[in-house]
Amino acid sequence: MDFLTRNRLKEVVFLAPVKALSDQLPRNKIRILYCDAKGNIDSTVTEDSVYRLARNYIQKLESDHKYGVILGVEVISGNYVPFAVEISSEQARALERIFEHAITRGIVPYVLKKYPKEIIKLGKDELKEIRKRYEQSRLETEAKGMPEVLKRLADYPEEGIAVAVPIYKAQYHYPLVILKRLASGEAAQKDMQRVLILDNEGDLGIIRVPRDILGTTERKLRDWKKKSGRAGCILYSRDADSLIMSYMEISEFQRKALNAIKRHFDETGHGKRPISTEVQGVLTKAKGLISSGYK
């Protein structure tokens, strides 16, 4: 991929470290997936130590229950200076969705495109300072040759990122079936849990739900299954002013069908189409229950 406009400083939001299938990077280098202000997705290679310095600031913010992200400004062709800025919880959630779309589709949906531009503006003062230092460095380079620090930034081919993940959509169709908990991502929220879901159109997705409510519902489902000896699954939906999380009974065949989806995701990183008759039965029943006011 190559979305760079040469001879012009580019400002980007770093999303997360990734690995291309063909990457053979030195131990002190990492590849970073990024998004620019227009919503274009690409990747670059940077110094691991420099990236970690910026990450340390993010971790300090997270310890204070705040959110942060790393921005980058291009200083020479394909090479970026990273720095961190504080962002809102809404912007942190939007970046998670942007990352999900980036690694699956290589694009940012229209409904999310405003966020990278907003976030980059938060770092405008630091960006101006970097531009000033870069211009000074450029003038010195023309007079004396390339600075040693830039000589160490090797050129690496910008290859496509091959990552297998489920389908993500700008809007999910409720109710959702929560399939399993997942490990936290880069911009973890202390009170939210990352989960794999199946929406009512049969598409897989990854979202965050309130951790305390999920834990309570999981305990209720375990107690019910122990007493009844039947299978069940957790549903997640929303009404006008609140969220709804509950559980419903499913057949043994439906339980096995949902488990097959989870196994397929664990093995391949994505969903499978078409969905089975058993799974469609779960989705139809879930929609009927929520529509009838079941909680």
Model confidence over 132-146: pLDDT tens digits? Answer: 776 665 665 555 444
Enumerate the domain spans of the chain: 11-151, 176-291
How far apart are alpha carbons 68 and 165 in whole angstroms?
A: 25
Is the pLDDT at 281 greater than 70, yes or no? Answer: yes
Kindly state the tokens that stand for 173.
């169709």
**Can you tell me the mean pLDDT for 190-203?**
84
What is each CA distance from 162 to 19, 72, 174, in whole angstroms?
8, 23, 30
pLDDT above 70 as % of the chain = 75
pLDDT, residue 153, reads 35
CB contact at 8 A, 165 and 16: no
Global pTM reads 0.47
In the chain the first and final C-alpha atoms are separated, in Å, by 47
- Residue 223 DSSP symbol: H
Beta-sheet strand order (sheet of 231-238): 204-210, 192-198, 176-181, 231-238, 243-250
Cα 145 to chain centroid, rounded: 40
How far apart are alpha carbons 160 and 187 in whole angstroms?
A: 24
pLDDT, residue 294, reads 63
Pairing of strands 231-238, 204-210: unpaired
pLDDT, residue 187, reads 47
Is the pLDDT at 166 greater than 50, yes or no? Answer: no
Indicate the length of the chain as a whole number. 295
How far apart are alpha carbons 230 and 226 in whole angstroms?
A: 8
The answer to whether the Cα torsion of 201, 189, 160, 170 is positive or negative is positive
pLDDT, residue 8, reads 57
**Secondary structure, 3-state, 151-175:** HCCCCCCCCCCCCCCCCCCCCCCCC
